[in-house]
Amino acid sequence: MSTLDALLGDDTFPKLLVRNARRHPARTALREKDLGIWQPVSWQGYLEAVRELALGLRELGLRRGHKLAVVGGNRPEWVMSELAAQAMGAASVGVYQDSTLHEVAFVLDHCDAEIVVAEDQEQVDKVLDMLEGLPKVRHVVYTDPRGLRAYRHPALISFEAVREKGRAVLARQPRLFEEEVAKGSADDLAIISYTSGTTGFPKGAMLSFRNLLAMALALHEVDPKRPGDEFVSFLPLAWIGEQMMSLSSALALGFTVNFPEAPETMMENVREIGPHVMFAPPRVWEGMVSSVQVRIMDTTAFKRFMYERLMPLGYAVADRRFSGKPVGAGWRLLYGLAHLLLFRALKDRLGLSRLRTASTGGAALGPDVFRFFHAIGVPLKQIYGQTEIAGISCIHREGDIRFHTVGQPIPGTEVRISETGEILSRSPSVFLGYYKNEAATGEVVREGWLHSGDAGHLEDGHLVVIDRLKDVMRLADGTRFSPQFIENRLKFSPYVKEAVVIGQDRPYLCALLCIDMGIVGKWAEKQKIGYTTYTDLSSRSEVYDLVEKEVELVNATLPSAARVRKFVLLYKELDADDDELTRTRKVKRNVVEERYGDVIAAVYGERQAVDIDATIRFQDGKTAHVQAKLPVRELLRKVA
């Protein structure tokens, strides 16, 4: 096929690794901050590590067609393990490292992995604890020996010991690695990516090298990357988005992937690297904006004055660009001045000074956040896609950004809307199917078209995503509304962290909201409102007043039949550990509706407040009892 022509036959990840090491042996492929210093790994070093590891894994019994599971944080060892497995013809399966015991066990068992690479004691404990229920797992390879000294489990082996085995094989059969790599082809299974799934158990999407590389090359055409570019890898490598950047794109295009020192140092490390390419979900971009806003509140009067005068200028120029109006010389001069005085420093603080291609995906990003980045000169783009299409089908184009859309299809991808209003897409990146689940595969791929399950429409070539098709709901009077659409708009408010809109078969809409403790807390301090805990803060009438204004703003943009009439501020944040969110922080609607059933009943029962008597479970297993009175707020301006 023609899609991978640009790779000149190097059509698998391991072949590309060998190619890159041949072309630029000394150039930096990976960098990890360790012991306070950025330690580089050259393409040659990368290849050697993968070669030893691959042969070592082969000694442990890894063969063509097998699966290798990897669980851990963003480290060079993670990507090396994946490549080592693929070099031997096996597929790699990423497991989210913050998964619970049972989630890990489900994926490990379902994917038939015989070898698991686990980063540290925490991950090793998870696997060993469940080992009795995992008859297929024979070896657990750990990369960080910390705390494992006293472990004597026969299945355990260290990363270094596997490499040592590999070195012994290399001495006996120096050509074995290259021979195995040469056997690979573009249509081999490369990875199985388990999708988080807001309902039921996760499904394993099988993707071939062709799927992954075709997507990387097509994206590169409209959003180019260069070999000297820097990229920081901080999102879960089990996620397709991170696979797309740190593996497919990095290997095909040869840029450098950097791994932060620790999750807590992520933003600091981004600033040290100054990446050219960045891909992050909305929460990261939102986090940056709110950190700027909080710091501006705390800074000197002069700096605040400058910020408040110059930001509108940036916004004005960004808005002109968005609406396609020309930016005249006068505007440019003023913008240049604002750049020198403010935007340059702001970008430097955020580590975005060199950023050339920035994208967000996975969920909707608020227009305010979008405008903020364009105002300071960061060309942020929205992307859209699914794991099942190797990550991406649409992206904003340079100079043609409309933030209510997700842009246009990337080259080689077709997008159309079915009669039922569902978004369908077709490209060389449509996946091979769900692992051991043909029924589910048949449901989503019909006649080559991937059925996204998302409702949307096209607006002269630009795709607009509304909601999950099955989530479009009806009020009792038949009015259709999209809860996710409204929730996203509510969440665009800096004060609202999570929102769940209820209304199926009800007379009107109500919203369960969680405040953003950081920002509302700061606001409360400014207003001299005393509070103790999250529960206390979120039950304050001043906070209710604050949020009410935000809800009214959202209501103004909604059709009058589907406006939020009442809302409640929940006494705790929704949490993935309580099963209320998925690991990628999507709300599990059915769980929330059931758990807060009494609150919802009170809202529609026309009560003014709900008595809460609940038990909160903390991470360490302790529980606390919460007794509170939760006010129900009805919006003053009556909804029609």
Partner 1 sequence: MALLDVRNATLHFRGLTALADVRFSVEQGSIHAIIGPNGAGKTSVLNCVSGVYRPQRGEILLDGRDVVRLAPSARTRLGVARTFQNIALFKGMTVLDNILVGRHVHQRADVLMGGLYWGPGQREELADRRRVEDIIDFLEIQHVRKKVVGTLAYGLQKRVELARALALEPRLLLLDEPMAGMNAEEKEDMARFILDVNEERGTTVLMIEHDMGVVMDLSHRITVLNFGEKIADGTPEEVRGDPAVQAAYLGEPAPFFTGSDA
Distance CA(584)–CA(160), nearest Å, equals 32
Distance CA(379)–CA(370), nearest Å, equals 9
264 vs 298 by CB, closer to partner 1: 264
268 vs 548 by CB, closer to partner 1: 268
CA atoms within 13 A on the CB side of 196: 23
Distance CA(212)–CA(17), nearest Å, equals 15
Identify the residue whose tokens are 């299945």.
155
156 vs 475 by CB, closer to partner 1: 156
Q: At its nearest, how many Å lie between partner 1 and the CB of residue 517?
A: 16
Q: At its nearest, how many Å lie between partner 1 and the CB of residue 239?
A: 23
Residues 6+ positions from 239 with CB-CB distance below 8 Å:
94, 96, 193, 584
38 vs 331 by CB, closer to partner 1: 38
Q: At its nearest, how many Å lie between partner 1 and the CB of residue 621?
A: 9
187 vs 272 by CB, closer to partner 1: 272
34 vs 577 by CB, closer to partner 1: 34
Closest to 615 measured CA to CA, from 600, 628, 597? 628
Q: For CA atoms 617, 618, 624, 626, give the dihedral sign.
A: negative
Identify the residue whose tokens are 């699914």.
386
DSSP conformational letter for 410:
P
300 vs 619 by CB, closer to partner 1: 619
Q: At its nearest, how many Å lie between partner 1 and the CB of residue 143?
A: 14
Q: At its nearest, how many Å lie between partner 1 and the CB of residue 390?
A: 34
Q: At its nearest, how many Å lie between partner 1 and the CB of residue 430?
A: 41
476 three-class SS: coil
Strand arrangement, sheet containing 496-502: 496-502, 509-515, 564-569, 633-634
14 vs 260 by CB, closer to partner 1: 260
Q: At its nearest, how many Å lie between partner 1 and the CB of residue 193?
A: 30
Q: Residue numbers of the site for partner 1 (CB under 8 A)?
A: 33-37, 146-147, 149-150, 261-262, 264-265, 268, 618-620, 622
Q: At its nearest, how many Å lie between partner 1 and the CB of residue 534?
A: 15
Task: Kindly report the length of the chain.
Answer: 640
8 vs 37 by CB, closer to partner 1: 37
Residues 6+ positions from 275 with CB-CB distance below 8 Å:
229, 230, 231, 232, 258, 351, 354, 355
Q: At its nearest, how many Å lie between partner 1 and the CB of residue 49?
A: 20
Closest to 568 measured CA to CA, from 638, 498, 480, 481? 498
Contact 193, 387 (CB under 8 A): yes
